[in-house]
Amino acid sequence: MNRIGAFLLVGAAVAMLAAPAGAEKRRRPAGPGTANPSELIATEIAFARAAREDGQWTAFRKFADDEAVMFVPQPVMAKDWLKGQQDPAQPVQWEPYQVWMSCDGTLGVIKGAWHRPDGSVGYFTTIWKQQKKGEYRWLLDQGDALSEPLEKPDWLSASVADCPQRGSGPPPHSGDKNHEKRREAGMTGYGQADDGTLRWSYKVSQDNSRVLSVYLRKNGSMSEVLSSSVAGQAD
């Protein structure tokens, strides 16, 4: 199951949370070179704080994109599934370890660790999509339990994709961003940033095992930066 809860913040991310209420109005429009990993981290932090203060599933509903997908363990449209969920008394807590972001800032991926009150531990991966007004909402959330805690890095790492060259043409699947909104979650799914420099895909098998892959543009080509496999389990 995925991570849910709140975690402690340090450094610049805390300062971002203290930004004035009008800060959102100063966001630059998405475009080449506008990626801001710190803003995405701040959104993850706000999400976690809302889970702690307002309730786990309440926060998931608030921060979800209209087409968000989660795994329970089969893929479901998150907003539909979340409608019937009651907030638990003690949410899981989590913190981010790694961030990947497209050159234009329209898509980002965060991986980190979670732990439950009962002592169990695991990892999560969340894909974030930038909305029309510049804020981020989660588009896909998944993770799994681990026998040992995920190793914590000394520093949270962030990697931004190389910007595409001018005149290189539209990225593959670029026409999909205007597609009709999904009505149900499929056994396969994919998406990408508007500029094509960050892409993701997942595939779920009949036993509910799944694989999530993330690709980032670096040095002129797309390279896999994350591959996550989850073993099959019953519904």
Q: In CATH, what number is assigned to the domain containing residue 202?
A: 3.10.450.50
Is 214 inside any structural domain? yes
Domain-embedded: residue 235: no
Torsion of CA 44, 62, 144, 226, to 10 degrees: -50
User: How many structural domains comprise the chain?
Assistant: 1
Eight-class DSSP state of 184 = S
Would residue 7 count as lying in a domain?
no
The rounded mean pLDDT for the chain is 83
What sign has the CA pseudo-torsion 87, 234, 112, 196?
Answer: negative
Extract the runs of DSSP E, i.e. beta strands, from 133-197.
Answer: 136-146, 157-160, 188-192
Residue 5 lies in a domain: no
Give a yes or no: residue 196 inside a domain. yes
Residues 200, 191: contact at Cβ < 8 Å? yes
pLDDT band at 29 (very low <50, low <70, confident <90, very high): low
Tens of pLDDT, residue by residue over 76-88, are 999 999 998 999 9
> Is 80 exceeded by the pLDDT of residue 104?
yes
- Is 10 a residue whose pLDDT tops 60? no
129 Rama class: left (phi>0) / alpha (psi -120 to 50) / beta: beta
Q: Is residue 205 part of a domain?
A: yes
pTM of the model: 0.82
Pairing of β 188-192 and β 107-115: unpaired
pLDDT of 148 over the 90 cut: yes
Q: What is the mean pLDDT of residues 40-66?
A: 92
Interatomic CA distance for residues 8 and 94, integer angstroms = 9
Residue 3 lies in a domain: no
Q: Is 226 domain-assigned?
A: yes
> What residues make up the domain containing 31?
12-230
Mean pLDDT of 187-192: 96
